[in-house]
């Protein structure tokens, strides 16, 4: 009888703990803890005055944010993919070479890590990424390294007759 009662107490205590944890996670989103059962207004400004120590470093004019660019695959344009770690860049880079519908899609062979991504009218690459050219500028190259490295690598890869100033 004592064993049965202790199991019952254990089940009740476990259920109460489970309900408390559930309330902690789901309660704030369901407005269960708000006074009167009402949620606070959505337009509540948590920081009404700006922080005097915050200095805005980057100003992006609306004109620059709304500009549109045309990529001419048949011309001399090259997409340079800058991989930023832990942001889904590997998945996005793989999609660039495998899943984008193009006139001439990238040739990805099973077992190879690199794909050949040539322009429709010549054997010249239009994509500079680790999945098309490999780690040509080093492992996890940043913006500065890519800026200095990409023109030289592309000039070496392209034939001498097709070289154009970049």
| Catalytic positions | 140
The span from the CA of 26 to the CA of 23, in Å, is 5
Distances (CA, A) of 8 to 11, 12, 19, 25, 115: 5, 6, 17, 26, 63
Q: Residue with structure tokens 């090259």?
A: 78
- CB proximity list for 124: less than 8 A, separation 6 or greater: 118, 157, 158, 159, 162
If residue 17 lies in a helix (H) or strand (E), which one and from where to where?
helix 2-30
């Amino acid at each position: 009888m004592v064993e049965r009662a202790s199991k019952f107490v254990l089940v009740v205590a476990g259920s109460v703990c489970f309900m408390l944890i559930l309330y902690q996670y789901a309660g704030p989103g369901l407005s269960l803890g708000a006074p009167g059962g009402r949620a606070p207004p959505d337009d509540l400004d948590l920081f009404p005055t700006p922080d005097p120590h915050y200095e805005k470093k980057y100003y992006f004019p609306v004109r620059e944010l709304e500009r549109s660019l045309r990529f001419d695959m048949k011309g001399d344009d090259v997409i340079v993919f800058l991989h930023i770690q832990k942001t889904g860049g590997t998945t996005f880079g793989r999609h660039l070479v495998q899943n984008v519908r193009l006139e001439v899609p990238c040739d990805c062979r099973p077992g190879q890590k690199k794909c050949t991504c040539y322009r429709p009218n010549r054997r010249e690459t239009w994509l500079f990424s680790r999945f098309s050219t490999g780690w040509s500028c080093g492992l996890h190259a940043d913006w500065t390294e890519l800026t200095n490295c990409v023109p030289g690598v592309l000039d070496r890869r392209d034939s001498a007759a097709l070289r154009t100033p970049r």
